[in-house]
Structure 1
Amino acid sequence: MALNLLSPSAVIGWAVQTTATVVSIPGRLLGLLTATEEAVRRANELIERTDTVITSAEEAVEHARRVTAAADEVLQVTKPMLRFVTELSAHEIEAAIRLVDELPKLAEHMAKDIMPILGTLDRVGPDIHELLDVTKEVRQAILGIPGFAYLRRRGGGRELQG
């Protein structure tokens, strides 16, 4: 049997190639570690940015919840007014606005002019009845004057000149 032996130059070539491969492994590992570190750094930056976005989104959602709750409260309070408003015409709404604009003056006149008069109505009622009684008596007295019916017929269609 013949034994195939490698030639010395083949062994040296194989040894050089193997040595080059073995020597390049730490360099390749260092490059791989550097690339991995860069990927991890970028992933950490992305995580930080994502955390910022999530925090901001959570704040926005919480704000939206508060706004929605406030709007719901306003809606519940104004719900009875909606029926009132839907039944009014544009002309009636404008009139109501003008009336509301006049409320300060109305309140002032009520307090200064009308309320004092209303306070005296219990005393005015008897005075008015007495005045009506006197007016009836004066009318009866005038009707009792002799010749009054004639004067009345004569001046019936004329107005008084003053």
Structure 2
Amino acid sequence: MRLPVPGPRDVLSALERGGDQFEALIGAVPRALALLDRAEALLDGAHVAVQRVREVTEAANVVVVRANGVVDGAETAIGRVTTLTDALEPSLTKLQPTLETLADTTHPDEVAALVRLVDTLPALTDSMEKDVMPVLATLGTVAPDVHDLLTVARELNDMLAKIPGMGRLKRRIDEEEGQDETDATVR
């Protein structure tokens, strides 16, 4: 759009038309200069706005790149989870009734006890391997020794029974043990 700024011909033409026109033309010059100043200010403002739009666009591009990375990671994770759930679905379908029963019948105290048990499993396993298993391995050789001890105890009992006065002592001990058992059942 062409701005109506008077040129040299316009000035000459105005001089020919008369003084009024010339005064109007001279009065238009400050207005034209003011319009130019305002146009420059608008251009400066537009330049600042364009710079800010550029900065926002660059920041948005950085965010878009990061978002693309997150989306790619999410797609990978979704693929892995899908593969895993597809593989576990038959087993989980079979276990569902058992899991529901377990969830309905398990008390929080039982869960806490189970957690404590799991926490002690390493020490329990270590003790089993070092202490109990060696003893269990020797039980096969202990049985004949225990049998021999029982035989000796019977023979010793028979010998003690032949000592004079031992029969009375044995009856008294049996009576006291019977009395102790009666007292224990009454309580």
Bigger RCO of structures 1 and 2 (CA < 8 A, at least 6 apart): 2
TM-score by length of 2: 0.45
User: Is the helix fraction higher in 1 or 2?
Assistant: 2
